[in-house]
Amino acid sequence: MENSQFHFDSETFNRFFPFYVLLDQNLLIQDRGRSLIKILPDLKSNDYFLYSFAITKPFLEELNSDNFYKITNQLVIIKSLRNEILLRGQFEKYGNGYLFLGSNWLTSDKNFEEKKLSLYDFAQHDASLDLFDLMYNRDKSDAALQKSLTIIHHEENELKVDNKEIDDRELFPTQNQDLLIRIDFEGHLLKMNPATQNLKRLTYHGINYEIKDFFKFIVHKIDKTKKRWMFEAESNGKCYSFVCKSMQEQYYVKIYGRDITEQKRNHEELNKLSMVAKTNKNGILFTYPDGKIFWCNDAYLKLTGYEKDEIIGKTPLEVGSDPLSDKEEIRRMISAFYDGNAFEVEILHARKNGSTFWSKTVGQPILDPSKKVIQYFAMIEDISEVKQKEEQLLLLSSIADKNISAVIICDKSGKIEWINSSFTKMTGYSKEELIGQSPGHLLQGEATNPDTITYLKNQIKQGLPFTCEILNYTKFKEKYWVRVQGQALHNKHGEVIKYFAIEENISQEKEFNQQLIDSENRLTSLITNLQSGILLEDEDRKVLIANKRFCDLFDFKGEPEEMIGFDSKMATEENKYFFKRPDEFIERVEEILRNKKNVFSEEIELADGRVYERSFITISKGNKNDGHLWSFEDITIKKKYKESLEAEKEKYRNIIANMNMGLLEVDKDDIIQLANQCFCDMSGFSLIDLLGNKASEILLHPEDKKLVTFKNKERINGKSDSYEVASINKKGETRHWLISGAPNYNVNGEVIGSIGIHLDITKQKNLELQKEELLKKLEKQNEQLNDYAQIVSHDLKSPLQSIHSLVTWIKEDSDKEFNAQTVKYLNMIEDKVEKMDHLIEGILTYSKVDDIEMITESINLNLEISKIIDIIHIPKNIQVLVKNELPTIKAERFRMQQLFLNIISNAVNYIDKPLGIIEISWEEEKKYYVFAIKDNGPGIALKNQEKIFKMFQSFSSNKRSTGIGLSIVKKIVKNYNGKIWIESELTKGTTFFIKLPK
């Protein structure tokens, strides 16, 4: 066992602490004391401690290795689960484990005998030895004292004549059992009697000597100038006392030895008993048969006020007699004393200073073997307090009937003899119903605490006073709480004759206390769960309450309950370096405590950069300071947020100013509170002109005032929006403003007005007006163009049809008369007329795409594609294939027909392969349909792929190509917010992709 100061070997440590237990961090037993092994032989190393012992004090609901530290540094009582042996001591941390230092807690001398314990099984400092002595001698003191004192008295008489016997005794009679020796001054044995010849060795001061060597050694120790010189030595387990008488003239020493083994043992026993008597709190006396005191303890001196030399040699009556003492009790005590009997009396005992105290004196004769009284033993107990209580109870009983509290007197068996009127009012029972009954039988019920009932029974059974609070029931089964104070009444012989009790109805007090407890619990719960760190101190700055948040804020690793009782002043000093300016922190704390004034939301900066907000509240009862409440809140994030917010505000103010936007703040009544310089420039008013005025009155056109009033009401409801108003600047000019308005809140989240960002959009407004006029003109022109297209279409198609008819007639009538060149020219005229007809038809269709009203309906594309295939002239060498069933979509039918008609027609017209194939497929995306129309035509060169969707762009000599069809497709897709693109490779074909929203 070692620490920073001490090192003990196992034997030494066992002498100090023979009942120790050493545990590791898992509560496994690593070692145990030798005396513990003796009383618990089945206890082994590596046994789990909590399987072998139960902790009876203190109580911890679920004790384990994690919380075992909670029972350290306090009194602990543990009970063996094998044989219920009790150990009393304490646990302390030792390395990673725990060390128990304590002792066997003896409850009786029977325990001592049952466990075969001896005094050597206890440490010499162990208070259990004193406890055992008291218990042991309590039962056996009379017999032991009688026996020991008889022996001592006998030995004293023997010792008185001892010297005379030595001088007068004839030297060396052969029958003498004492040791008789003669040596010269050199230590040589000259003569010894037969009893001495049995001695072979002697032990002196722990050293063994041969008999002849011993006397050569001891002769040099003997003081030959003294008449007698004595020493003690041991041999064969016996103790001998030797008296040496130097015969100077004869040059030898006469030595007389006697076996004093029994005498030594009796002296040791007497010393033990004397120690018990000396430490007894009651007075102890020993007298001779004539009554004269020859010994008393310190307690008796303290009781009487006398010094010891003032008492020794006097009788107890001479010391403590008082004129007011009961003469009959004194006579009874004297009679018992002279008759050699035990006695017990209660009398007034006088003190040296003339005062008195009530004493209970118990006397016991000490007899010799012939039953003759040789001494008297008496114990005097101060019972003044008990007597005073009895007198008070008797006095109380005389006035009890008038007492507002309930008073009850029971006989020694617990039956009611008398009650006052307050008792009947409290219980609802009449006197007739109560007399002769047991109070518990009538008044206690199912909700009465069984432990309280047991306590009352035990106190009454032992004749002891009792005080408790108990729940009783009235005659009508109504619950009520009473505070009971009771006392047993004794006769002069100490026998219980009655019980007297006062009962006070404390139901209202209980209810109030419960409300107070509930309130305190709620407050404690509130404090515990607050997000602020809370520390409650008493007036001496000792911690009463701390919550978890406080522990977290100040890095306290334990539980909040562990802080209770801490010295806050010391803790503050120790932790001052937690803060950025430690000395200032201490000075400010002292200043706050000195001023005793509440402090709220005071910021303190920590060494690590965090910022706490501290508040201080004094707690007073009347004019007395009863403690202090500190609260701490980590506002680091809040402060940084606030600083960031201020920076953001400043940034946005600068942005607003740089963007030439005016900022205006008004209250809920539209009164201007703040305006920036840009707003002043916009309005032409100075800040002084604006502040305190109603914004709508000095800035707006009359027709917009109602709008602003409506918007301000919406701000109160938390709404934000943007709107336009017409304003009047200081010069009277009309300006157009775009206002973005939002509610303005205070720190409590309450709407206090609104904030508006103002942008002067006068130029934009004028441009919008111009744009509207242009749009109207453009719309009119579009209408005229549509009309023109219709007229041109009609006027051009009539002559074209006539030309086509004339050419046809000429060819039919004069077919054989024309040469090949003429026929060729006529065919060219027909082709150009047809192409011109297609071009006019395409232009007319293109103009209708935007003109036709958008009527959305469900369109089955499978049916529409079939119709288109039927309408278009498709050569026999070309196939149109639909790879997967097409969807039904929501769209305008004419536009969808034009879209697919133009793409399919375009593919049919341009396919140059012997076997032409057109494939139609589609895929579905989350928000779109994606259609693909693929052909195996000649393909489109990359440089022309962006141009094909423009008007009149055709890159082939096909007579049916007008350069309008794909423009119509592009326009339809664009109107549907879709997308069209192609993938094409020369000689291999082209795929058109169309993406339409669902």
CATH number of the domain at 484, please.
3.30.450.20
d(CA 73, CA 100): 11
Is residue 734 exposed (0-12), middle (13-18) or buried (19+ Cβ within 10 Å)?
exposed
| Strand positions, DSSP E, 491-596 | 496-505, 533-537, 543-546
- Mean pLDDT (the chain) is 84
pLDDT of residue 962: 62
User: Residue 227 is encoded by which pair of tokens?
Assistant: 């008449």
Q: Is the pLDDT of residue 345 over 90?
A: yes
- pLDDT tens digit string along 47-85? 888 888 888 888 777 788 888 888 998 989 998 887 878
Q: Is the pLDDT of residue 751 over 80?
A: yes
d(CA 973, CA 995): 8
Beta-carbon-side half-sphere exposure of residue 918 (alpha carbons within 13 Å): 23
Tell me the CA end-to-end span of the chain in Å, nearest whole number. Answer: 87
Mean pLDDT of 483-488: 93
Query: Which residues, in sequence order, are CB contacts of 239 under 8 Å at separation 6+?
Result: 232, 233, 259, 260, 261, 264
pTM: 0.30
pLDDT of residue 525: 76
Is 220 part of a structural domain of the chain? yes
Q: Are residues 860 and 981 in the same domain?
A: yes
| Strand positions, DSSP E, 896-965 | 916-924, 928-935
d(CA 833, CA 796): 11
Name which residue leads in pLDDT, 277 or 432: 432
**Residue 969 CB neighbours (<10 A):** 24
> Three-class SS of residue 151?
helix
> Three-class SS of residue 714?
helix
End residue of a domain, out of 603, 618, 634: 634
DSSP string, 345-373: EEEEEE-TTS-EEEEEEEEEEEE-TTS-E
Mean pLDDT of 769-780: 81
d(CA 414, CA 986): 125
Instruction: State the DSSP code for 400.
Output: G
Is 216 part of a structural domain of the chain? yes
pLDDT of residue 784: 62
Mean pLDDT of 353-377: 90
Q: Quick one: pLDDT band at residue 774, thresholds 50, 70, 90?
A: confident
DSSP string, 30-80: EEE-HHHHHH-TT--TT-BHHHHEEEEES--TT--TTTGGGGBSS-EEEEE
Q: Are residues 285 and 341 in the same domain?
A: yes
Q: Is the pLDDT of residue 140 over 60?
A: no
- pLDDT tens digit string along 586-614? 999 999 999 989 999 999 999 999 999 99
Q: Quick one: pLDDT band at residue 128, thresholds 50, 70, 90?
A: low
Task: Supply angle C-alpha 641, 647, 648, rounded to 5.
Answer: 85
Q: Are residues 305 and 246 in the same domain?
A: no
Is 772 part of a structural domain of the chain? no
Q: Is the pLDDT of residue 965 over 60?
A: yes
Between strands 624-634 and 252-259, the pairing is unpaired
- pLDDT tens digit string along 696-708? 999 998 888 999 9
pLDDT of residue 159: 46
Q: Is the pLDDT of residue 22 over 80?
A: yes
Q: How many residues does the chain have?
A: 998
Phi, psi of 334 (to 5 degrees): -65, -40
Quick check: 286 and 377 in contact, CB under 8 A?
yes
pLDDT of residue 654: 74
Q: Is the pLDDT of residue 379 over 90?
A: yes
Q: Are residues 378 and 422 in the same domain?
A: no
Q: Are residues 79 and 193 in the same domain?
A: no
Torsion of the alpha carbons at 39, 40, 45 and 49, rounded to the nearest 10: -120
Q: Are residues 615 and 651 in the same domain?
A: no
Distance (Å) of CA 552 to CA 558, 569, 611, 651: 10, 19, 14, 36
| Residues of the domain holding 56 | 10-124
d(CA 949, CA 967): 5
d(CA 990, CA 981): 11
Q: Which residue reads 């000395």 in tokens?
A: 583
Number of independent structural domains in the chain? 7
Q: Is the pLDDT of residue 287 over 70?
A: yes
pLDDT of residue 835: 64
Q: Are residues 703 and 746 in the same domain?
A: yes
Q: Is the pLDDT of residue 336 over 60?
A: yes
Q: Is the pLDDT of residue 279 over 80?
A: no
Percent of the chain topping pLDDT 70: 84
Is 140 part of a structural domain of the chain? no
End residue of a domain, out of 382, 413, 444: 382
Mean pLDDT of 425-451: 94
Q: Are residues 989 and 866 in the same domain?
A: yes
d(CA 752, CA 746): 6
Is residue 203 exposed (0-12), middle (13-18) or buried (19+ Cβ within 10 Å)?
middle
Q: Quick one: pLDDT band at residue 917, thresholds 50, 70, 90?
A: very high
Quick check: 81 and 94 in contact, CB under 8 A?
no
- pLDDT tens digit string along 166-199? 444 444 444 567 889 999 999 999 998 888 888 8
pLDDT of residue 822: 82
Is 340 part of a structural domain of the chain? yes
Instruction: State the DSSP code for 887.
Output: P
Q: Are residues 14 and 90 in the same domain?
A: yes
pLDDT of residue 157: 52
Q: Are residues 83 and 188 in the same domain?
A: no
Name which residue leads in pLDDT, 670 or 276: 670
End residue of a domain, out of 209, 231, 265: 265
Is 575 part of a structural domain of the chain? yes
Q: Are residues 601 and 652 in the same domain?
A: no
Is 519 part of a structural domain of the chain? yes
Q: Quick one: pLDDT band at residue 135, thresholds 50, 70, 90?
A: low
pLDDT of residue 1: 45
Is 828 part of a structural domain of the chain? no
Q: Are residues 117 and 155 in the same domain?
A: no
pLDDT of residue 171: 44
